[in-house]
Structure 1
């Protein structure tokens, strides 16, 4: 390993400056603009809280990106609070300060905002998810009571509002410190802080708390929403359902662990969920839906009637789908546009012959990814739909893991898949011959047997000239 690079003159100057925080704060008014990003990094990692507050108050750029600092090593909670405090803290009267140009604070790891040296004169240029997107206006009359009191005193007449961009993670398990700190600051700050969230994750939050947080956000800015709900949040009669309806630019929606309990008066659990899903009719830009709930069993036709016909991804694991549900999907307008279809963890052995084939026939013109894992697919069932599957000429990946398929069934699969020009990856189960049953009906994997079978598969792929396709075998 090579020795570390010696510190530069700027490094040495910053180290010397930070030995006395009071002196460092006074020096901010005279520092060149290009020193601020480096000084921020050193002060943040060293938890120089007084200096951090001063840096924010004198920031010479329109944008402040904090995601790289939060991803770095070491504790950062104290430094984060110092930065947030600097957004509305008044500088000491004895300190001569420069006017901050700060307009945007960005906490996103996957930020679309531009870098320091590329800052635009208009923050609305940073976020254009759609050609018709117009950033929502936030006016003073929507300010919280504490903000109104500060504005009445004239405290902030010379200070402009700041936009905060963050991907929020809320909930009892994944309630991140970052999300908590930023939300608390926005709620308590005297300065107008406008919060914008593109990706929102909610896990096991009460309806009232969720609604309270979403009231801080311009809902039309949210593009990705994931909800893990065990407490009846996904009920059509609460305010949260109407808030989701206002997320006009939502592209990806993931609803998992939908178990209830449901509020009284909503009837059955299925009715409560369907009532919530009816609010999706307003989401014209929705491209992806993931729904994991057996409450949808037998009601898929209702869900499909609420979705845009141009939906590209439909994931329905653990939905206990019936053959009537799959039949409705094959007859739906969405079938002609689907690029990814996930029916994993649904027992397809109960589906009537021809139903799945009819669905594959309808999606064959667009389908790129198909997931049929844990579906209890057997050799007989596989052979029934392979001829139709081989007509999905845009198929790129196929997953059949954890199904009951033998070596001969997998050989048939290889032969039918050989005619698909865009196929890149197939995930399939280790064949049944590679297991033995121990006393107590416990399966035992026989590795030597699989090595022989795998060698046979490789030769078959070579004979079919399919070496470029990656085949992955998974254990049960």
Structure 2
């Protein structure tokens, strides 16, 4: 029998079984363990709520990974709630077998399986006989952090259940898997332990954010992104104390923060924000930091004193870095470890000559990505800076779009970077002559002779230097 026919026949047989729900519920008692995932997959995609609930209550293996099934939000919501609702039902030996389930995974750790794939292939990633190895980080003894509604039933009837998920929460994420799982954890009668490796929160008030953090095993979080949330680094720093417990945090982004709900609170003094950042000194595993705030201006030395020396990514798009900030960064222990440095949207034209070059040289042994977009760089600044990147032999990506340079500076830049063997991508603006041409001719298209001549020049120079594999991307600074 052809290999593609067998899965189709299996699916047809299971779908026929599920049409008679009462019979399917009785048949599950005799279902072989190996068929559980396949039947479960078909039932999930078909929205057979009662069958799903019964199968979870009698799940014969310690793990159930739902990530590969959570592809289309419109198709899985009913099935997901059937599974979550079933977690509060205590299975008994006389009712189809007692569940051995200890872990439910909601993360897409394996390659997502499309709805057109066979149920047999999808089922292969839903479970494992092996002992569960999560978490990979060192954790203290963990406990369920949800509100203790489950006291209304005998505690000995409930076994703790671990849920593994990456959470994305905010105004644009209502009704998704994250919201459904959080709602279940808050209301469950059963002790549930929520492990989240990646947590992204956008546009949420501080009270709501703190409620979510109170449900999580904080020591497990490795990636935290907070965007547009109000009031977090102010007041009595409850959020900061929560961050201190994230001992295994590797990546931390604080972007577009609102420092209070009133006009007075929003004018948070710089020292208060730096005091908040001082809590980062407890995070020994931190490797990536993106603190987007003008409060860092003039105080970067304080922030650097709290960061681990082995920091690999530092993104400082805070618009207002001063000369002394750049000097402090170049003299910091972090400079010799950085793999990515992003200084976008800082006016580097105001930085005294030599400071930025010194910083690039200090990072040259490790730097792989340099981003200087919209930094007010012109020919004079670029010509001074150019010798420094020639030492960055491990540089993979260079970007300085949004600046104003001439064709002459572009040629000098190209000659220099063509010698960097590991460089793969360069993003730069079209020369200023192209913008002047657009304004003079009132053109809105780059399909003009001026633009074509620039791209041709770059192509020919790359070809002549044997760097045709270097991807060169041009950007327009403005629309005229």
Q: What is the TM-score when the length of structure 2 is the normalising length?
A: 0.89
Would the aligned equivalents of 1:379 and 1:404 in 2 still touch at CA under 8 Å? Answer: yes
The residue aligned with 1:59 is: 59
Say if 2:134 is the partner of 1:126: yes
Would the aligned equivalents of 2:234 and 2:260 in 1 still touch at CA under 8 Å? Answer: no
The residue aligned with 1:137 is: 142
Gaps in structure 1 of 5+ consecutive residues? none
- Equivalent positions of 1:172-251 (< 5 A) are 172-235=171-234, 237-251=236-250
SS of the residue corresponding to residue 168 of structure 2 reads strand
Q: Which whole-Å CA distance do the structure 2 matches of 1:471 and 1:437 have between them?
A: 21
* RMSD of aligned Cα (Å): 2.6
- Decide whether aligned partners of structure 1 residues 296 and 265 sit closer, same or farther in structure 2, where only a CA change above 3 A counts: same
| 1:203-256 deviation per Cα after TM superposition (whole angstroms, max 9, x unaligned) | 122222222221111111000000013412133632111001110000000111
- Higher alpha-carbon deviation: 37-46 or 84-93: 84-93
The offset of 1:429, in angstroms, is: 1.0
Would the aligned equivalents of 2:91 and 2:98 in 1 still touch at CA under 8 Å? Answer: no
Q: Which whole-Å CA distance do the structure 2 matches of 1:168 and 1:441 have between them?
A: 50
Q: Which whole-Å CA distance do the structure 2 matches of 1:216 and 1:143 have between them?
A: 5
Gaps in structure 2 of 5+ consecutive residues? 112-123
The residue aligned with 1:472 is: 473
Q: Which whole-Å CA distance do the structure 2 matches of 1:232 and 1:19 have between them?
A: 53
Q: Which whole-Å CA distance do the structure 1 matches of 2:183 and 2:168 have between them?
A: 14
Say if 2:284 is the partner of 1:281: no
- Decide whether aligned partners of structure 1 residues 358 and 206 sit closer, same or farther in structure 2, where only a CA change above 3 A counts: same
The offset of 1:48, in angstroms, is: 0.9
SS of the residue corresponding to residue 197 of structure 1 reads strand
Q: Which whole-Å CA distance do the structure 1 matches of 2:69 and 2:394 have between them?
A: 42
The residue aligned with 2:318 is: 318
SS of the residue corresponding to residue 200 of structure 1 reads strand
Question: Quick one: which of 146, 149, 166 aligns to 2:149?
Answer: 146
Q: Which whole-Å CA distance do the structure 2 matches of 1:301 and 1:241 have between them?
A: 20
The offset of 1:179, in angstroms, is: 1.5
| 1:172-219 deviation per Cα after TM superposition (whole angstroms, max 9, x unaligned) | 233452112111111211121111111001112222222222111111
- Equivalent positions of 1:23-422 (< 5 A) are 23-72=23-72, 74-90=74-90, 96-110=95-109, 115-116=125-126, 118-121=128-131, 123=132, 125-129=133-137, 133-134=138-139, 136-138=141-143, 144-151=147-154, 156=157, 159-235=158-234, 237-261=236-260, 268-422=268-422
Would the aligned equivalents of 1:230 and 1:261 in 2 still touch at CA under 8 Å? Answer: no
The offset of 1:12, in angstroms, is: 2.7
SS of the residue corresponding to residue 391 of structure 2 reads coil
- Higher alpha-carbon deviation: 389-398 or 171-180: 171-180
The offset of 1:289, in angstroms, is: 0.4
Q: Which whole-Å CA distance do the structure 1 matches of 2:135 and 2:351 have between them?
A: 45
The offset of 1:69, in angstroms, is: 1.1
Q: What is the TM-score when the length of structure 1 is the normalising length?
A: 0.90
Would the aligned equivalents of 1:170 and 1:176 in 2 still touch at CA under 8 Å? Answer: no
The offset of 1:55, in angstroms, is: 1.1
The offset of 1:422, in angstroms, is: 1.6
The residue aligned with 2:424 is: 424
- Decide whether aligned partners of structure 1 residues 6 and 394 sit closer, same or farther in structure 2, where only a CA change above 3 A counts: closer
The residue aligned with 1:452 is: 453
- Decide whether aligned partners of structure 1 residues 186 and 217 sit closer, same or farther in structure 2, where only a CA change above 3 A counts: same
- Higher alpha-carbon deviation: 464-473 or 7-16: 7-16
- Decide whether aligned partners of structure 1 residues 9 and 253 sit closer, same or farther in structure 2, where only a CA change above 3 A counts: same
- Decide whether aligned partners of structure 1 residues 276 and 68 sit closer, same or farther in structure 2, where only a CA change above 3 A counts: same
- Higher alpha-carbon deviation: 29-38 or 316-325: 316-325
- Number of matched residues? 460
Would the aligned equivalents of 1:262 and 1:272 in 2 still touch at CA under 8 Å? Answer: no
- Decide whether aligned partners of structure 1 residues 73 and 172 sit closer, same or farther in structure 2, where only a CA change above 3 A counts: closer
